[in-house]
């Protein structure tokens, strides 16, 4: 295979991959917000509130992994049907450009969107919970070692395997 | 422009789909590939388009080896499959999304083709019928500026006026730099377009000839009585008489029914082959 790389064409492939990316993970991302609120509000109402609760971190991980793995699992869904596969494979781009575009979306762009969505939802809950329950979770340390392990060892392993075609 | 040399292909099963094919296709022509179901017509298009790789032999398409699937090769080849899928977007959005990949995409040709087929750019692809979506894909193919256009059953799903529109649009696009390859079972739909014929039988090349050469050697007539002349190669009963394939011994001009020729070749290839003077092509 000739894996030539042309930056301008790569940007076109990336744009096309973004435009044709799976929608289901985004639906799950939004559907996860009410579930997240339910879990948080149950803890906020509980008499056993721990000031060092790891719940947001655990909820984030579950949310992040489910959506991220779903996204990674669907990123090559074009290849499932002959009609879509033919369209995708006949696009004038090298395999390297296609693979890099998909990998960038699965490993960087979607996780970033999931992280931002979680943070926005979490901030929203904090505002609500302060007013309703006079309750606030401790700030999540996004640069902690646990987060690092969670992201790199648990989250990235599966999408990377999917994106690289190992699974 | 397309050179196929001793090329064979088989899927996982042992039975070959295409066996030891050798032929060339030159720019400026419209090539029709005919053959019975399962003979390997679509497989041949997939091999030319780099979607499948030959098990042995060589394919060269406009200086490229399809199996490498280089962007420079894919920019020059547009494939319209029989089983296609278009995204759920508007027609104009489809063009904006995919046209940047084709450096020679002709916007005027795209608009002209859409107008000819009666497709509005603001229509949603998912709201269109199969035939209308096919027209969008054909319009894109014709406007893509690709040197090599591969069509698998292009008239499938098209209404009668649209078949005529397709013929006119394709004729206008084919120049000395371009080549179209059409596989079809509806040979009447594209017979007027074709200037070369390739017939596959039992996974091998049965016939390759230009339509001009064929018409110089064979002619078709419809008569009420079965001709007794020696020139009769093949005949079939039709309402009101017989449809006959004859040797064109006196170089008479007339239409050549490719469907009848195909049937004759399927039943008795040797009779027709012996008639053709240019045996080197067979």
Q: Give the model confidence (pLDDT) of A70-93 as tens digits.
A: 888 898 888 989 999 999 999 999
Delimit the domains of chain B by residue range.
2-202, 210-281
Window B:68-107, CB contacts with A under 8 Å: 68-72, 74-75, 77-79, 81, 83-87, 97-98, 100-102
SS3 string of chain B? CEEEEEEEEECCCCCEEEEEEEEEECCCCEEEEEECCCCCHHHHHHHHCCCCCCCEEEEEECCECHHHCCHHHHCCEEEECCCCCCCCCEHHHHHHHHHHHCCCCCHHHHHHHHHHHCCCCCCEHHHCCHHHHHHHHHHHHHHCCCCEEEEECCCCCCCHHHHHHHHHHHHHHCCCCCEEEEECCCHHHHCCCCCEEEEEECCEEEEEEEHHHHHHHEEEEEECCCCCCCCEEEEEEECCEEEEEEECCCCCCCCCCHHHHHHHHHHCHHHHHHHCCCHHHC
Q: B97 vs A19: CB contact, 8 Å cut-off?
A: yes
Residues from chain A that touch B43, judged by Cβ atoms under 8 A, are: none
Chain B residue with minimum CA distance to A13 = B101
Closest partner residue to A86 (CB to CB) among B51, B69, B98 is B51
Write down the mean pLDDT value for chain A. Answer: 83
Q: B2-202 maps to which CATH number? A: 3.40.50.300
Question: Range with the lowest mean pLDDT among A140-144, A151-155, B97-101, B278-282?
Answer: B278-282
Chain B residue with minimum CA distance to A5 = B71
In the numeric block, the tokens 């449809």 are attached to B243
Residue B229, chain A, CB below 8 Å: the answer is no
Q: B101 vs A87: CB contact, 8 Å cut-off?
A: no
Q: What are the tens digits of pLDDT across the range B202-228?
A: 888 888 989 888 888 888 888 888 776
* A/B interface, count of CB pairs below 8 Å: 59
Q: What are the tens digits of pLDDT across the range B137-159?
A: 999 999 999 999 999 999 999 99
For the cut 90, the answer to whether the pLDDT of residue A147 exceeds it is no
Q: Tell me the pLDDT band of B281, cut-offs 50, 70 and 90.
A: very low
Q: Determine if the pTM surpasses 0.80.
A: yes
Delimit the domains of chain A by residue range.
21-163
């Amino acid at each position: 295979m000739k894996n030539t790389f042309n930056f301008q064409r790569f940007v076109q492939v990336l744009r096309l991959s973004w435009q044709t990316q799976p929608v289901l993970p985004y639906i799950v991302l939004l559907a996860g917000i009410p579930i997240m609120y339910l879990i948080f509000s149950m803890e906020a109402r509980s008499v056993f509130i721990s000031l060092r609760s790891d719940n947001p971190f655990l909820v984030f991980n579950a949310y992040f992994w489910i959506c991220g793995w779903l996204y990674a699992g669907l990123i090559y869904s074009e290849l499932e049907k002959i009609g879509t596969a033919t369209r995708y494979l006949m696009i004038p781009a090298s395999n390297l450009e296609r693979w890099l575009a998909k990998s960038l979306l699965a490993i960087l762009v979607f996780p970033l969107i999931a992280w931002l969505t979680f943070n926005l939802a979490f901030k929203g809950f904090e505002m609500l919970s302060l007013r309703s329950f006079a309750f606030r979770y401790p700030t999540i340390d996004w640069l902690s070692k646990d987060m690092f392990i969670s992201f790199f060892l648990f989250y990235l392993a599966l999408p990377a395997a999917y994106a690289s075609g190992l699974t | 422009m397309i050179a196929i040399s001793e090329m064979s292909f088989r899927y996982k099963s042992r039975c070959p789909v295409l066996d030891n094919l050798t032929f060339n296709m030159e720019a400026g022509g419209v090539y029709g590939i005919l053959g019975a179901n399962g003979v390997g017509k679509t497989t041949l298009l997939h091999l030319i388009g780099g979607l499948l790789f030959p098990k042995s032999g060589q394919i060269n398409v406009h200086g490229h080896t399809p199996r490498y699937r280089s962007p420079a090769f894919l920019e020059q080849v547009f494939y319209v499959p029989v089983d296609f899928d278009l995204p759920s977007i508007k027609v104009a959005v489809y063009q904006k999304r995919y046209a940047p990949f084709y450096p020679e995409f002709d916007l005027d040709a795209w608009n002209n083709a859409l107008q000819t087929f009666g497709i509005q750019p603001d229509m949603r692809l998912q709201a269109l019928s199969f035939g209308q979506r096919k027209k969008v894909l054909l319009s894109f193919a014709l406007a893509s500026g690709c040197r090599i256009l591969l069509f698998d059953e292009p008239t499938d799903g098209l209404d009668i006026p649209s078949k005529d529109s397709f013929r006119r649009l394709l004729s206008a696009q084919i120049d000395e730099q371009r080549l179209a390859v059409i596989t079809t079972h509806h040979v009447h739909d594209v017979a007027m377009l074709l200037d070369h014929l390739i017939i596959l039988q039992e996974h091998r090349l049965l016939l390759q000839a230009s339509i001009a050469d064929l018409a110089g050697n064979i002619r078709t007539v419809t008569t009420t009585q079965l001709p007794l002349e020696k020139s009769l190669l093949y005949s079939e009963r039709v309402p009101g008489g017989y449809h006959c394939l004859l040797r064109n011994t006196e170089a008479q001009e007339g239409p050549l029914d490719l469907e009848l020729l195909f049937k004759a070749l399927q039943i008795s290839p040797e009779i027709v082959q012996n008639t053709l003077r240019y045996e080197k092509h067979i």
